[in-house]
Amino acid sequence: MDLPQLVDRRVLAAPGRPGANDRIILGHIGVGGMGGGHLRGMAVRQTHGQVTVAAVCDADRKRLATAAEIAGPGAKAYRDYRSILERKDIDAVVIATPDHWHAVQTVHAAQCGKHVYVEKPACCTIEEGKAMVAAGRENRVAIQVGSQGRSQPEAYLAHRYIANGMLGRVREVVCWHYPSPADTNPVPDSEPPADLDWDMWLGPLRWRPYNARYCHGTFRWIMESGGGQIRDRGAHVMSNALYFMNADHTGPVSIEATGTLPSHGLWDTAIEMEVAYQFKNPDWTLYWRQPGERIPYYRSDARIRDGYGAIYRGDKDSLIVWAGDGQTFTEAKALEYRVPPGGQDVYRSPGHVEDWFHGIRTGAPTIMNIQAGAATAFLTILANLSLILGRKLQWDPVQQEIVGDEHARRLMSRPQRYPYHL
């Protein structure tokens, strides 16, 4: 009689955890811009046996054709993301569609049991962020938001330096960034390009005629689909701030924004903007200043865009952290710091995608999990609401609700177009 073979359970595949010898089967939704970059990165991992890219999807036929070539002959191309979610063989999806699609596609993917890597910012409304958190929790999937600054080597060193009290008690974090662009040369509405499925591109947004100023990358400068620099790069710079300040699961109690909104053209996000976020227990203030006072990068051993970053000011010292997305750099004193006996270490990401893979295989929270991604996005959403309404907002960080302002509360959500809705 044959005896049963004993196999380490870690070798076997299980729901939410591919086996140790299994590739992660991926679908890519949105494959232009950042999505194309993600796909190229996964194509390299595919050659190393880490993943299999089984499907690609985009509303733009030209981008889809390019993606299909990159993914290889084994990948199937789709125009509708729901076709990917229906496939039982796909473990996880990479979502890099425009911002207004992130929440709906993430929730739908989680409900279908897919792990998710979703580009930043996580969501466009408070309601969307809450739905994403609930979907991830209820379906027990690993969600990584693409604010990759936390996974950069020098972000780890800056975090460790701050966590060991080298700045003392941090009282304020001041972020700076250059202004958003203005639509100084408006163009009339027109028929969409023949290769673009305009209805699918709009998705949950209200229907409107096509205009060349809407897409592709320029969706960022429209409040409905983007939210301006604060939502685009704020999702990087302020993500690091929340992480370093151990504030992912807290939030400000008040938000006050001032700035300049465009007076003409299609783009309607703030050109210049200043925001003050007051946090309690512990008390500190986060500032977003656009443009703010740029702190030039003065190290000679690395190349960096110094047009955005943050300075952390404590009662003992300060620390500058430049950029905060695919590049994060900090001062030499943090790079050279050695943790003393009894000191504190912090989590060191193996890489943003690799950290996501670890979450898929083990169930461990990812470094930029959806709770953290929603918390960062809420900062940007609340700032834009304060600016549009022209008044300070009060926020309950526990209930995640605007308080004492019914008009503002109603703007925590918005209608979504059938059938592309939560």
Q: What is the pLDDT of residues 223-267, one digit of tens each?
A: 999 999 999 999 999 999 999 999 999 999 999 999 999 998 999
Stated pTM of the model: 0.94
Q: How far is CA 370 from CA 45, 120, 170, 186, 261, in A?
A: 24, 10, 26, 36, 30
- Asked whether the predicted pLDDT for residue 7 surpasses 50, the reply is no
* Structure confidence at residue 305 (pLDDT): 63
112-144 residue pLDDT tens? 999 999 999 999 999 999 999 999 999 999 999
* Structure confidence at residue 99 (pLDDT): 97
Residue 74: Cβ within 10 Å count: 10
- Asked whether the predicted pLDDT for residue 303 surpasses 80, the reply is no
Task: Give the pLDDT band (50/70/90) at residue 304.
Answer: low
Q: Do domains 9-147 and 150-348+369-410 have the same CATH topology?
A: no
**What's the CATH architecture for 9-147?**
3-Layer(aba) Sandwich (3.40)
Nearest alpha-carbon partner for 93 in 124, 46, 122, 55: 55
Whole-number average pLDDT of the chain: 93
Q: Which helix (H) or strand (E) holds 101?
A: helix 99-111
**What's the CATH architecture for 150-348+369-410?**
2-Layer Sandwich (3.30)
SS3 string of 367-416? CCCHHHHHHHHHHHHHHHHHHHHCCCEEEECCCCEEECCHHHHHCCCCCC
Domain ranges of the chain: 9-147, 150-348+369-410
202-230 residue pLDDT tens? 999 999 999 999 999 999 999 999 999 99
SS3 string of 284-299? EEEEEEECCCCCCCCC
14-38 residue pLDDT tens? 545 554 457 999 999 999 999 999 9
DSSP state of 170: E
If you average pLDDT over residues 343-364, what whole number do you get?
Answer: 98
- Asked whether the predicted pLDDT for residue 391 surpasses 60, the reply is yes
Q: How many whole angstroms separate alpha carbon 89 and alpha carbon 30?
A: 19
